[in-house]
Amino acid sequence: MRLITALALAAVCALAQAQTYPSRPITMIVPFPPGGIADITGRPLAAAMSKALGQPIVIENKAGAGGAVGHAHAARQAADGYSIMNALSSITVIPTAEEVNGRQPTYRMSDFTPIARIAADPTVLLVRADSPWKTIEDLIADAKKRPGKISYSTSGIYGTTHTCQAMFTQAAGINMLHVPYKGGGPSMLALLSGEVHVTAQSPAVAHPHIKGGKVRALASWGAKRLPQIADIPTLKERGLDAEFYIWAGVFAPAGLAPEVAAKLREAVRSAVNDPDFQKAMTNVNTPIQYQDAPEFAAFVKADGERLAEVVRKMGKTQ
């Protein structure tokens, strides 16, 4: 009888909490430094969601290990709706990468509740404007002549841009030198400063530098050309089996009460229709590609399975 009473009381308390949620500020974990796509989508998203929820959403950048540090941190938070995360596609890759390297994964996808997808853009392959490579064929030919001599920056080992670069090198049959950084922002700066020869970035990060004449785009990983750089071919056009999207989506820890999950889903749905958020996405050349939780969960599962195959081909790496 006491056990039944205790369980009933716990259920009543949980329901009351869900009905009053949110009653205090929420933290949005961004598992990368400022400047990358997770950050530049997360900040305006947090502001728009705050309007819908009536509470501030504070950004916490938790960078490191291609997003793994932030992912694991988010997985350990209480499933009460006060800790959410704006993550990229690397979230599905890292558990497989840890297994490939003989390590126990620091988190599993089962540790999260998918809330909604915000955006999904193909990455763009960039070189400095003063580089000798004018086309993707130029780069591939040089890399074949000089294995391991051409360097590329990424957001971290097995991170989003490492995985897409691995797709490219596997498809092209070339070997380039991997130089990992702690996020998309530092990775972009590495190319601009001449620390590396090549990088892959989201269109949002790449476009201002392309427009400013600092970098040259050689190709994109999309199924079709990007409207803002329509003169740049896709890798698939050039006969390379490499298609990859950096997607950004909101997650919460697993075990979230359905009522709280519903409020977060509605807040994201409201945010993507908010004029200020839409303007912010337009300003960074990132089209909104919204998916609600059921569709997003299915998308995450399918994309994760596809990318896991790439990681297994990559094998152990440093």
pLDDT one-digit tens code per residue, 193-202: 999 999 999 8
Task: In whole angstroms, give the CA distance from residue 67 to residue 65.
Answer: 5
pLDDT at 194: 97
What percent of the chain is modeled with pLDDT above 90?
75
**What are the extents of the domains in the chain?**
25-121+246-314, 124-229
pLDDT at 4: 56
Nearest to 295 by CA among 93, 114, 30: 114
What are the C-alpha distances in Å from 109 to residues 73, 92, 94, 105, 290? 13, 7, 10, 10, 20
For residue 160, report the phi and psi dihedrals to the nearest 5 degrees: -55, -55
The alpha carbon of 61 is separated from its chain's Cα centroid by a whole number of angstroms, namely 13
**Please, where are the H alpha helices in the chain?**
2-20, 37-53, 68-75, 90-100, 136-145, 160-172, 184-192, 203-211, 258-272, 275-283, 293-314
Q: Does residue 48 or residue 35 have the better pLDDT? A: 48
In the predicted structure, residue 13 carries a pLDDT above the cut 70: no
Structure tokens at 155: 């957001």
Q: How large is the average pLDDT for residues 143-147?
A: 98
Q: Is 117 helix (H, G, I), strand (E, B) or coil?
A: strand
Q: Is 102 helix (H, G, I), strand (E, B) or coil?
A: coil
Q: How large is the average pLDDT for residues 231-245?
A: 94
In the predicted structure, residue 298 carries a pLDDT above the cut 70: yes
Q: Does residue 160 or residue 274 have the better pLDDT? A: 274
Radius of gyration of the chain (CA): 20
What percent of the chain is modeled with pLDDT above 70?
94
pLDDT mean across residues, the chain? 91
Residue 208 in contact with residue 86, Cβ under 8 Å?
no
Task: In whole angstroms, give the CA distance from residue 39 to residue 59.
Answer: 9
pLDDT at 16: 52
**Range of lowest pLDDT (72-76, 83-87, 192-196, 310-314):** 310-314
Q: Does residue 35 or residue 290 have the better pLDDT? A: 290
Task: In whole angstroms, give the CA distance from residue 64 to residue 138.
Answer: 33
In the predicted structure, residue 104 carries a pLDDT above the cut 50: yes
Nearest to 222 by CA among 270, 168, 273: 168
Task: Classify residue 233 by its DSSP letter.
Answer: P
Q: How large is the average pLDDT for residues 86-110?
A: 94
Beta strand pairing status for 26-30 and 288-292? unpaired
pLDDT at 318: 57
Nearest to 70 by CA among 58, 86, 54: 86
Q: Is 149 left (phi over 0), alpha (psi -120 to 50) or beta?
A: alpha
Q: Which CATH architecture has domain 25-121+246-314?
A: 3-Layer(aba) Sandwich (3.40)
CA atoms within 13 A on the CB side of 268: 29
Spell 188-206 as b/e; 16+ CB within 10 A means b: bebbeeeebbbbbbbbbbb
Q: How large is the average pLDDT for residues 261-289?
A: 94
Residue whose structure tokens are 């749905």: 269
Q: What is the pLDDT of residues 169-224, one digit of tens each?
A: 999 999 999 999 988 889 999 999 999 999 999 888 898 999 999 999 999 999 89
In the predicted structure, residue 10 carries a pLDDT above the cut 50: no
CATH topology of domain 124-229: D-Maltodextrin-Binding Protein; domain 2 (3.40.190)
pLDDT class of 3 with cuts at 50, 70, 90: very low
Q: How large is the average pLDDT for residues 23-44?
A: 92
The alpha carbon of 185 is separated from its chain's Cα centroid by a whole number of angstroms, namely 13
Task: In whole angstroms, give the CA distance from residue 95 to residue 99.
Answer: 6
